[in-house]
Chain A
């Protein structure tokens, strides 16, 4: 049972009590002091690259809100801490912020970190919004009323499976390139769940699931795994390797023709692999948290322009959009009714936080990337699909493990 009470949160110092469960109205102290939000995200270490988008995205989002008058007349201010994508480091700095009275935090991208926050936030009356952590445990068996996922979570892979069934009804045999860690195995399990639900529904065919290729994290040589994958009968491959690992895998797979005549669905590299490989990138689909070019709402356009002006990066990754969503969620929660059940506007459109398990329902975005030697960047986005989240999200079962379909 949550210990969050309005009195306790008002006493947090920020005066930004978010009635997370039972309080319909927020009381904001009569002051012009900034409302401080903690951004605990990787600013060094292996996920610094992602953390840089979260940091820049948060700063741009706060700048835009403050220029528009702030929240209830008060400006937002950010306090950054480096969590190094390490649960021990993350809880240490999060606790430090809590000690400073900064109870409203966001920026988590690693599942292990998000899972570590539950007990801490509950004990200290804090709140954490994850900006992309993927584990299904966050809103299922390890559900905490103090941790919210304001982005797409587990159901993104279900949406990607559904899109494959719609786009490639004849590609019914699937395998995966799955890194040997929590995120990789989650991606595979959820994707298989989606394949087993949507292929029969949409195509009337039962998909064949081939054992995935389990690959080590942070390897410089994937050739043996590529050889294994090339031997499978699967005509579709889902890739869950990420960042430099994915670029290395794709790079080494080219001479083996692994992706020739196969459909490649990448979980979430967005532009990372394409930016690295340029015209050598294989044609593939990838999930994205926010594709700036396809979202034409004023919020998205304004945010994109401000982001480019600040960073000079013309192809921001979706993580920046997730940071914007986190700031927007807090701003809306402070101005309105708290986080649970909140509907708020973001760069990807409206999102609603499901009250039962703190999981946001948002539309899922996927882009197809293919090489284009004539382009400045060596590739182009040749297709874009948006799938409503409400149609693919799994049922809320806080405190209980998600029930997944498994191949027979």
Chain B
């Protein structure tokens, strides 16, 4: 296993950052609205399909800049969808029991699946990375696909951007204030509804962006919604519900667990991920960063 150590570490990082990209929007929405959005994977999937369609739309998109533009556009499209979902679903259910919201988001997931089947069909498709990310570098026996490096960098950049947004901007401070005490924020004249909507839009846009950035990471099919979502929920829970920083740390930690679990228990793939999830929650029931608010 020593010989495989660099590969295990690198693969853990790729797994962790891919999962964090999906989990970021999930934890953000939970931090403000306290909604576990089951449909998040569905909007991640639609974001991937939108990015795939955009990159196939024109040969001019077949480069790294086209790839990034398609990812951002996918994020923008899903962000707008988030606005609609906020008005049509979240606001209407804001004052009912949380279980109804869970059911509503699950229904949204089914809508996403149906939409993908209707628009893109049942076929499995895949997207190639842009030519700049198609190659591979080697350090000794360590294989470094450039696209995998890109996923790691993208995860770190999104994390830093969210840290900056939450901690360094006035909007971010308002989001934090509302996460802690929306009633007091409303008394102080803050337009809480607007911030709620902005958070949903950002959360959904992150799902779409993740879909675009990860479009060449795995195949695309109507099953894609469920591919990352279990891991993403695990990362959100272990990180501390609503904590961006916690999700980032948890993604790396669980990535390492998953990676080394593959090497240590090859006949039981994925088992250590769930064991670690349970063990961490036994020790720290509120997650690694138990803020109880967006951080």
Contact = CB atoms under 8 A, between A and B. Distances in A.
Contacts of A255: 136, 143, 145, 147-148
Give the interface centre of A211, A224, A276 by most chain B CB atoms within 10 Å: A224
Given A216-B269, A255-B136, A247 B124 contact: yes
Interface in B211-236: 214, 216-224, 226-228, 231
B140 interface: no
A242 B15 CA distance: 21
B266 A228 contact: yes
B263 interface: yes
A275 B269 contact: no
Contact of A244 (B147, B224, B259): B224
Contacts of B14: 221, 223
Interface stretch (B3-11, B99-107, B176-184, B191-199): B3-11
Interface in A193-243: 211, 213-216, 218-221, 223-225, 227-228, 230-231, 243
B15 A221 contact: yes
Contacts of A227: 4, 7-8, 11, 143
B123 A276 contact: yes
A172 B147 CA distance: 34
A83 to B, nearest CB: 17
B53 interface: no
Contacts of B219: 244-245, 247-248, 251, 276
A243 B222 CA distance: 11
Interface string A39-54: 0000000101100100
Given A48-B117, A49-B221, A275-B123, 16 more contacts: A46-B223, A52-B122, A180-B268, A180-B269, A214-B269, A220-B217, A220-B227, A223-B148, A227-B143, A231-B4, A247-B221, A248-B219, A252-B217, A256-B136, A273-B124, A276-B123
A257 to B, nearest CB: 8
A212 to B, nearest CB: 9
A135 to B, nearest CB: 20
B14 to A, nearest CB: 6
Nearest to A180: B269
Interface string B263-277: 100111110000000
A272 interface: yes
Contacts, number: 110
A71 interface: no
Contacts of B123: 49, 275-276
A244 B222 CA distance: 9
B273 to A, nearest CB: 9
A49 B224 CA distance: 14
A243 B218 contact: no
B128 interface: yes
A276 B124 contact: yes
Interface string A14-32: 0000000000000000000
Given A216-B270, A228-B262, A231-B4, A223 B126 contact: no
A221 B218 contact: yes
Interface residues of A, number: 37
A277 interface: yes
Given A221-B18, A223-B148, A251-B219, A275 B124 contact: yes
Contacts of A225: 262, 269
A209 to B, nearest CB: 15
A276 B147 contact: no
A276 B18 contact: no
Given A214-B266, A244-B224, A255-B143, A224 B8 contact: yes
A368 interface: no
A220 B228 contact: yes
A122 interface: no
A186 interface: no
Contacts of A213: 266
A243 B228 CA distance: 17
Contact of B218 (A52, A220, A228, A280): A220
Contacts of B15: 221, 223
Contacts of B143: 227, 230, 255-257
Contacts of A224: 7-8, 11, 258-259, 262-263
Nearest 5 pairs of A and B residues by beta carbon = A247-B219, A255-B145, A244-B221, A224-B262, A220-B227
B124 A244 contact: yes
B125 interface: yes
Given A228-B262, A248-B218, A277 B270 contact: no
Interface string B115-140: 00100001111101000000010000
B257 to A, nearest CB: 12
Given A225-B262, A255-B136, A272-B124, A243 B18 contact: no
A216 B258 CA distance: 11
Contacts of B220: 244
29 contacts: A49-B123, A49-B221, A180-B269, A211-B266, A213-B266, A216-B269, A220-B214, A220-B231, A221-B15, A221-B217, A223-B11, A224-B11, A224-B259, A224-B262, A227-B4, A228-B4, A243-B221, A243-B223, A244-B218, A244-B223, A247-B126, A248-B126, A251-B126, A251-B218, A255-B143, A255-B147, A256-B143, A277-B126, A280-B126
A142 B139 CA distance: 52
A12 to B, nearest CB: 34
Interface in B3-32: 4, 7-8, 11, 14-15, 18
A381 B7 CA distance: 35
B130 to A, nearest CB: 13
Contacts of A214: 266-269
Contact of A48 (B11, B147, B222): B222
Nearest to B146: A255
B175 to A, nearest CB: 29
A180 B268 CA distance: 8
Contacts of B217: 220-221, 252
